[in-house]
């Protein structure tokens, strides 16, 4: 199946710093990518939809100035957690859409565990 690479897999940072997470589709072009976050023992929560060449669409309650999303190419989307605080510590997961219509599938990266001290 299609491969989505997410980097880094784990990051520890100090409170107040910014952290960038990369999501790449390795063998297909993804005009749309999605960003999720997941707290321990909970399900994935959709944060935003990232569209190549346009502004991201954020889900209700997600601060767009806090979580900056850039989708500058058909194979790369980035999520920057700005001025991170301990409550931002979470598992962040990206996904990329391959295909359209009936054949559409979403493939997921392996996730980034963010720990803010």
Partner 1 sequence: DAKTTQPPSMDCAEGRAANLPCNHSTISGNEYVYWYRQIHSQGPQYIIHGLKNNETNEMASLIITEDRKSSTLILPHATLRDTAVYYCIVRVKNQGGKLIFGQGTELSVKP
Q: Distance of CA 50 to CAs 17, 18, 19, 29, 113, Å?
A: 23, 19, 18, 13, 20
Stretch that binds partner 1, among 29-37, 60-68, 70-78, 81-89 (CB under 8 A): 29-37
Q: Site residues for partner 1, window 76-115 (CB under 8 A)?
A: 91, 93, 95, 97, 102, 104-111, 113
- Whether the Cβ atoms of residue 92 and residue 79 lie closer than 8 Å to each other: yes
Q: Is the dihedral of CA 117, 71, 55, 38 positive or negative?
A: negative
The SS3 call for residue 87 is: helix
How many CB atoms lie under 10 A from the CB of residue 45? Answer: 15
Q: Cβ closer to partner 1: 7 or 82?
A: 7
Of 46, 73, 83, 115, the one binding partner 1 by CB under 8 A: 46
Q: Cβ closer to partner 1: 75 or 95?
A: 95
Q: Cβ closer to partner 1: 28 or 108?
A: 108
Binding site for partner 1 (CB under 8 A): 1, 4, 6, 32, 34, 36, 43-46, 49, 91, 93, 95, 97, 102, 104-111, 113
């Amino acid at each position: 199946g299609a491969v989505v690479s997410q980097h880094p897999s784990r990051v520890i940072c100090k409170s107040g710093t910014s952290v960038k997470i990369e999501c790449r589709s390795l063998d297909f072009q993804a005009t749309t990518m999605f960003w999720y976050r997941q707290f321990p023992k909970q399900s994935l929560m959709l944060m935003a939809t990232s569209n190549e060449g346009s502004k991201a669409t954020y889900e209700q309650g997600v601060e767009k100035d806090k979580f900056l999303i850039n989708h500058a190419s058909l194979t790369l989307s980035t999520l920057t957690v700005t001025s991170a605080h301990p409550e931002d510590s979470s598992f962040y997961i990206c996904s990329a859409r391959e295909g359209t219509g009936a054949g559409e599938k979403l493939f997921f990266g392996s996730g980034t565990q963010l720990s803010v001290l």
